[in-house]
Every structure is written in C-alpha cells, then in structure tokens.
Amino acid sequence: MKDIEKILATFDPATGRMDGAPLTQRFLHDLRRCFHDAAAFEQAAAAGNPLIYTVAGVEPGAGDGDLHYGVGMIMPGRIGDEYYMTKGHLHSWREAAEVYCGLAGEGVMLLEDEDGGNSRMVPLGAGKVVYVPGRTAHRTMNTGTVPLTYIGIYPAKAGHDYSTIARKNFTSIVVERNGAPAMVRRGTKA
C-alpha cells in the first residue's frame, strides 16, 4: 500500500490550497487571446496582472490504473462581459474522462465536443458533480462573487493538450447577461 502522504491530503475548500501539493498559478497575462473582448483584455492587462486561478495538483502514481487530481480555485471577476476562467484543454489521451465536484462558490463549465459542433454550459458549485466525457474540451468559469473552488479527478494517463485550444479557442463563450451567465456563439451578439 502507498505511503499515507499519497493516500490522504488536506485542503481548504474556501481557498483551494492543499498542504504539500504543488500550486500552479495563472495570472491575467497568461490568458492572452482567451477572452473574446480583446480591447477589454488589453485595458485590464495594462492596469495590472491579477491572479485569475490556481490548481493544487496531486499525482500519487503514474500507472495505468492510477488517478491524478487537482483542487482548483478561480477568482471572481470579468474581462468585459466574460467571466474569469481557466485556459481550458482537451486531454492528450482523448478517451480520458474527468469528474469535477464543486466545493464552494458559484460557477459553470463550458463543455465542447472536440470538433466544436456541440457546446454545453453546466453549473458547477457546492453540491454539483460534472462528468466530463472523453473527447470533450472543458473550461471553468467563476460566475459568482467569491472564489469558486472544485476538485477534478482524472486518469493519470490523461495528459493535457492546451495547444488545440490555444489555436482554435472554444466555439462558445460564457458572458454575463442581465446578471446571469449565458452561453453564446463566439463572434455573435446576444
């Protein structure tokens, strides 16, 4: 059996910080070309480089049957009308699915078939579990006023393909409309 350090981890559901786990931090300048409103992005990026999200990652093993997981935290905020969000990715091993459990705060996930033909917005927050099937690009947004935290659990072999999203971005965006999140096709006015 694995050592207790690999079996038990302790995290703070309010901040997403986990004892002893490496923390990836993404700042606004890391998210260039993710947001649809380029002028709003440049204005915000000129004013500063705030922290947008963190992921505390745990990789207990790398075998065929192993799992990895990460506790994510996204700050509240928007660039123009678009909520603060993650870069988003496909898994390098396309068949790899993932389970997201919301811990605190309010948010949504944008799920898209790899060919971009089908987009879906699903809520993610305390009491919500989202199953992300294989071959599905996924991006997470904080639509609330406090940090959104969640845990994502995925096969150790999944890997992360960020380059496909960096090249094509998501077909849809999630924006604030009348105080609520709405999914619209990129490049259209809703």
Q: Which of ligand F6R, Mn ion, none does residue 107 bind (CB under 5 to 8 Å by kind)?
A: none
Residue that has been written with the tokens 């949504």 in this structure: 108
CB of 155 to ligand F6R, least distance (A): 9
CB of 80 to ligand F6R, least distance (A): 20
Nearer to Mn ion, 98 or 112 (CB): 98
Confirm if 134 and 96 have CB atoms less than 8 A apart.
Answer: yes
Q: Does 70 bind ligand F6R (CB under 6 A)?
A: yes
CB of 77 to Mn ion, least distance (A): 22
Q: Does 87 bind ligand F6R (CB under 6 A)?
A: yes
Contacts 24+ apart (CB under 8 A), 28-33: 28/52, 28/79, 30/87, 31/85, 31/87, 33/166, 33/169
Nearer to Mn ion, 44 or 71 (CB): 71
Give CA–CA dist 57/60, Å, rounded: 10
Give CA–CA dist 141/1, Å, rounded: 37
Can you read off the two tokens belonging to residue 166? 């960096």
Nearest to 59 by CA among 160, 143, 144: 160
36, 44, 71, 98: which one binds Mn ion (CB under 5 A): 98
Q: Which of residues 115-174 bind ligand F6R (CB under 6 A)?
A: 138, 140, 152, 154, 158, 160
Q: Does 112 bind ligand F6R (CB under 6 A)?
A: no
Confirm if 91 and 154 have CB atoms less than 8 A apart.
Answer: yes
Give CA–CA dist 94/91, Å, rounded: 5
Nearer to ligand F6R, 68 or 78 (CB): 68
SS3 of 28, please? Answer: helix
Q: Which of Mn ion, ligand F6R, none does residue 88 bind (CB under 5 to 8 Å by kind)?
A: ligand F6R
CB of 150 to ligand F6R, least distance (A): 7
Applying CB under 5 A, which residues contact Mn ion?
A: 98
- Tell me which residues touch ligand F6R (CB under 6 A): 55, 70, 72, 86-89, 98, 138, 140, 152, 154, 158, 160
